Chain A
Amino acid sequence: MQRAERVLNRHGPSIRLVASWLWVPVAIAIVAFLAASLSKAFWLNLMTTTLIFGTLGVSLNLAFGLAGRLSIAHGALFGVGAYCAAISSQYLTESVAINFAIAAFSAGLLAALVAVATIRVEDIFFAIVSFAIAAVVILVISRLDVTGGVAGMRIVGEFGVIDLVAFRFDAGTRSGQLALAGIILIGALAVSRRIQGSRYGLQLASQRDNPALARAFGMNVTQLRFSVLVLSGMIAGVAGAFQAYFLQHISPLLFIVGVAIEILVIVILGGVGIIVGPVVGALVLVFGLELVPLEPGQRLIGTGVVLLVLILYFPQGILGSGPMRRVHRWWKMSTAQSEPVPTAGVPPGDQRQGALVDTGSVTPLDDPEDPGTSEAER
């Protein structure tokens, strides 16, 4: 670890820049390997679902982990994305790309509504209002004619051949869908990582830990909260559009408040505020729990118990505690990017209690010893 730091110090920012994006080809290689090696439909579908829930977790982590706004609306944002893609596929266009854009836009719009409705309220009320809006949206969806009510609706069209700069694959096949889900997840991760190290990300952290201080430093807290929620909602909307095309048939039960709670468990399981945390969380909760033979009711109980145990005994999650924490820290230090803004360095002693799931330090950003923060002070 010491040596790695020395090397990094000598070669300066160029290595950091390369290193900070090194994970992208690695992640693409992992996804490609999974898509190529898994052959049974069951495993491919399960892995695809895992990646999509990982994306949702990354999206919630933006709002909750980075900005401290615990949204219980992410199930509904996911659902609005899926339904808007499906409705547009039936009445407007069969172009997959346009429907993805429509899904992102409409979920972003709902997120904007949540943000506007909660402009003047703090964390707890934010959670409650976001929950109320989400629950009402799903209730309305389950009653409208255009959405097919409780029975749900079909989406018209399928994924076609996708031609990206370097690769070309048929997303119509199961392994192609897995690859596409992987690309969406990697995109969401890239956005989050770019934000976390940036001036914007530090401003988000600073308004999360002490909104009054952030305001005193001249940050527009309202605007910060609004923008991060809309961005997070758009990612959830894209995941929703994918889900609609992936399942071909969607119903309101796929997007109820329980799904939002599941996304929250994924985030906390991985470690709140840790960018790659939700991927680990989804692997354990979506992939792992599927391997245990459980009735639907028992599965719910199991997920609930996991959440309770986490919040009572391991609020830092898998990547935030124990030996994994050291690995993650090293990773963050070796890839920390861009110049932090001095104003965003909130004094460690000045952090408001209860801003996050805090029992001391939950997110790496909260940690006074954390390299990210110490760098801001350097």
Chain B
Amino acid sequence: MLTQVAINGIGTSAVYVMLALGLVLSWGLGRTVNFAHGDMALWGAYIFLPLAAVGSGIWLGLSTLAAAGVVGIAGLIFGRTIFEKLEGNHMAGLIAALGLVFILQGAAISVWGLSPRSGKAFVSGVAEFGGTLISWQRVLVVAITFATVTALWLGLNRTRIGADIRALSEDVEAAEAVGLPVRRLYLGLFALGSALAGLAGVMYVSLFPITPFASHVLVLKAFLVAALGGATSVVGVVIAGFIVGLAEAFGAQYISAPFQDAYGLVALVIVMIMRPEGLGMVVRRAV
């Protein structure tokens, strides 16, 4: 029972990590507090579903890439037309993102309707290890998440452009002074963050059904995990994702199910009071 709960919790945690990774790029390293992240993820899922209904096998992978790509391009357009104009005024960017929430959600309701859509798994079947059941889909989601985390970590820590981005997030003025293309980097971060939102949406819909209002939960989890992880640290976000996912799984099982979503929040509030910079800083100091 204990392992079963933990296994299910790990699957959910992987989705949370995936959701928060996009925010690390657009909010933590970039400058846009993207409250529309959940709606972008939702749109990723909605684009994926009709595409995926057509074929199977490698086609599903292509559909996933297409969904992430479309959301990424949308992010590029939003970044260019809205967030770039606000010139790093964080509060104004945050409010503009809230406007985007309404637009994306209204569009989702108009196009796809209010009725829930069932999820679409890439692979079916369940593996059994000593009485513990694991669906292959969850294994796949965890694998994809770890591949993304690794790619992102390597990209940020082992490439030139990654070094540029880290420099940018530490000190914008200095980055500008040494001639980094600040605007373009911010735009790229936002677009890539949006694409990751689309990817996370596909991961979510491969496990759970969705409605246009699912975006509330998606964006909540994304921000909970990203804020808990310290927003700028990929490793911090992975740790935070597992704290939130497992706390929810065990809390729902052993304390009280209706309060499921509150357990991750409790962790966030404690960290916000003790250590406002989030877990990422602790990790960075330790590593």
Contact = CB atoms under 8 A, between A and B. Distances in A.
Given A128-B223, A359-B92, A256 B213 contact: yes
A268 B95 contact: yes
Interface residues of B, number: 47
A301 B107 contact: yes
A118 B268 CA distance: 11
Contacts of A359: 89, 92
B27 to A, nearest CB: 9
Contacts of B70: none
A327 interface: no
A308 B92 CA distance: 10
A147 to B, nearest CB: 10
Contact of B261 (A140, A301, A303, A354): A140
Looking at chain A's contact residues, the main secondary structure is helix
B107 A70 contact: no
Interface string A133-147: 101101110011100
Given A124-B33, A357-B95, A312 B86 contact: yes
Contacts of A257: 216
Nearest to A149: B258
Looking at chain B's contact residues, the main secondary structure is helix
A120 B102 CA distance: 30
Contact of B269 (A129, A144, A256, A300): A129
Interface string A247-258: 000000000111
B209 interface: no
A305 B102 CA distance: 8
Contact of A356 (B91, B111, B224): B91
Nearest to A295: B110
B220 A136 contact: yes
A125 interface: yes
Contacts of B35: 131
B181 interface: no
B92 A304 contact: no
Max chain B C-beta neighbours (<10 A), residue from A121, A268, A297:
A297
Interface in B90-107: 90-92, 94-96, 98-107
A125 B92 contact: no
A146 B285 CA distance: 46
Interface in B24-57: 33, 35
A116 interface: yes
Contact residues on A (Cβ < 8 Å of other chain), bracket: 35 or more
Given A131-B35, A132-B268, A136-B262, A304 B99 contact: yes
B198 to A, nearest CB: 19
B223 A299 contact: no
A14 interface: no
Contact of B102 (A135, A301, A354): A301
B276 A121 contact: yes
A298 interface: yes
B227 to A, nearest CB: 6
B158 interface: no
A375 B276 CA distance: 38
A140 B103 contact: no
Given A121-B272, A129-B227, 13 more contacts: A120-B272, A127-B33, A127-B91, A129-B269, A139-B262, A143-B257, A264-B95, A299-B106, A304-B99, A304-B103, A308-B82, A308-B100, A312-B96
20 contacts: A72-B98, A125-B276, A128-B33, A133-B265, A133-B269, A136-B220, A136-B265, A139-B262, A145-B258, A256-B213, A258-B102, A297-B110, A300-B105, A301-B103, A304-B102, A307-B95, A307-B98, A312-B82, A354-B91, A357-B91
